[in-house]
Structure 1
């Protein structure tokens, strides 16, 4: 091979290597760019999915609350009227000596049923919440638990503030779920609940001294686990988060954080 051929071969080799290198770089850049676009698309899809899930949860909660109000209204108006009428007939029956004992027992049962209807109606649609706000409604709920159960309940809070009604109702339902779980499953003798409004945040801390639970063990496999998932969904719908901490024999704790733009209770009629 003469010198000219050697130069030509070297030039072709160098050119080929250069083209191959540029092609390899182009392929690498294409793969990186494609993966970046794919990752961005996946993030957008996930964000859209999360937004759709939150919207679905929000709509579901609104439908549930509307149905609760309807049932509470029907209980108060329809069943309440029937029980009132029954008590009216019983008052006449108790004037007859031979039927007085039976009438008194029936009257007690009717009174108990009427009280149950009022309590169910209140749980379904807490009017105290709409009138006086979240803190007042939770305070009343704790009072009912003290009266009906042998459980000590303490409720601490700083200055009461009013939130949007949807947020107040969402937090109220979460507290209701926490208390119900404790009363049904925990065998607790003490419950502490605290709400703080600070730095445009609502911080709710909950603790009981019950038997505790293996959180991983109950996830998605038990009604209690489904209750936890339900609370997580409610917190996400409120653009907040709730965390749970528990183990067997160590009680149960929950912390809820929600960003808020609150105004003082005295500023809202």
Structure 2
């Protein structure tokens, strides 16, 4: 009888010990889940803050670019118009100087046209009035006439605008950033621009420049150009893929997630 009582007591002790261990496990598990949820919340708040900061920076940059665009149109554009007016009057009053002044007049016209194109490319208000396809195509045409690099543009899909106004502005600024990096740093002789509008939007820019080692150019170590591209893409929830091979070239692809 006494042995049975001892055995029963041991079973009771083991049972309560198991309950205590189970309770402790549940408490630890709940605590770990709480930490995970808290960490996730902090991480999400950090992402939201970064996105808000990027949006604010983007809006500020757009305002500055719009101001520059307006100044180019109102100041430089008008000054060139006046200079061309004076040159044309000199040609009219002095026919003997016509041959000498004609190249100058043509150069002024070319410069005026370039400034007008640059002004339009900087102005987001003008950008939203046309499709992203037309805007990128027009910028490529401008670059063809102003640089020694060979540019090629290919479109796959419809020309109809497939992006909202905010996406259009951000995508165009990213395109300008990619081109700017290629012109400044790649040493390329040719740049290819491929734009797809179906089944989803995708923009790919490739150059035959010197490329770089991706293992040495992570987001943390990337230059301001790549950081700007990645940060801007995050504003509209687009993804960026960078393919670079040293001494061969670089391809940067921007697409909807």
TM norm. shorter chain > 0.5: yes
Q: Name the counterpart of 1:227.
A: 225
2:235 counterpart of 1:237 = yes
Q: Call closer, same or farther: CA 1:89–1:195 in 2, change over 3 Å.
A: closer
Q: Call closer, same or farther: CA 1:151–1:235 in 2, change over 3 Å.
A: same
Q: Call closer, same or farther: CA 1:128–1:154 in 2, change over 3 Å.
A: farther
Deviation at 1:236, TM superposition (A): 1.3
Q: Call closer, same or farther: CA 1:109–1:159 in 2, change over 3 Å.
A: closer
Contact 2:62 2:124 in 1 (8 A): no
RMSD, matched Cα:
3.2
Counterpart pick for 2:69 among 69, 72, 77: 72
Deviation at 1:28, TM superposition (A): 0.7
Whole-angstrom CA distance in 1 between matches of 2:126 and 2:152: 19
Contact 2:206 2:249 in 1 (8 A): yes
Counterpart pick for 2:127 among 126, 129, 145: 129
Contact 1:128 1:136 in 2 (8 A): no
- Range that drifts further, 22-31 or 65-74: 65-74
Q: Call closer, same or farther: CA 1:85–1:153 in 2, change over 3 Å.
A: closer
Contact 2:117 2:142 in 1 (8 A): no
Deviation at 1:253, TM superposition (A): 0.9
Q: Name the counterpart of 2:210.
A: 211
Whole-angstrom CA distance in 1 between matches of 2:108 and 2:202: 42
Q: Name the counterpart of 1:138.
A: 136
- Range that drifts further, 120-129 or 10-19: 120-129
Counterpart pick for 1:26 among 3, 23, 26: 23
Whole-angstrom CA distance in 1 between matches of 2:57 and 2:103: 43
Deviation at 1:183, TM superposition (A): 1.3
**1:11-49 per-position Cα deviation (integer Å, ceiling 9, x unaligned):** 333322222221111101111121122212322332333
Whole-angstrom CA distance in 2 between matches of 1:113 and 1:192: 26
May I ask how many residue pairs the two structures share in their alignment? Answer: 253
Deviation at 1:186, TM superposition (A): 1.4
Give the TM-score of the pair, scaled to structure 1.
Answer: 0.79
Whole-angstrom CA distance in 1 between matches of 2:115 and 2:248: 36
Q: Name the counterpart of 1:160.
A: 159
Deviation at 1:111, TM superposition (A): 6.1
Contact 1:129 1:136 in 2 (8 A): no
Whole-angstrom CA distance in 1 between matches of 2:196 and 2:211: 25
2:179 counterpart of 1:182 = no
Q: Which runs of 5+ in 1 are unaligned?
A: 260-269
Deviation at 1:166, TM superposition (A): 1.1
Q: Call closer, same or farther: CA 1:51–1:126 in 2, change over 3 Å.
A: closer
Deviation at 1:96, TM superposition (A): 7.8
Whole-angstrom CA distance in 2 between matches of 1:127 and 1:13: 82
Whole-angstrom CA distance in 2 between matches of 1:160 and 1:91: 41
Q: Call closer, same or farther: CA 1:118–1:126 in 2, change over 3 Å.
A: farther
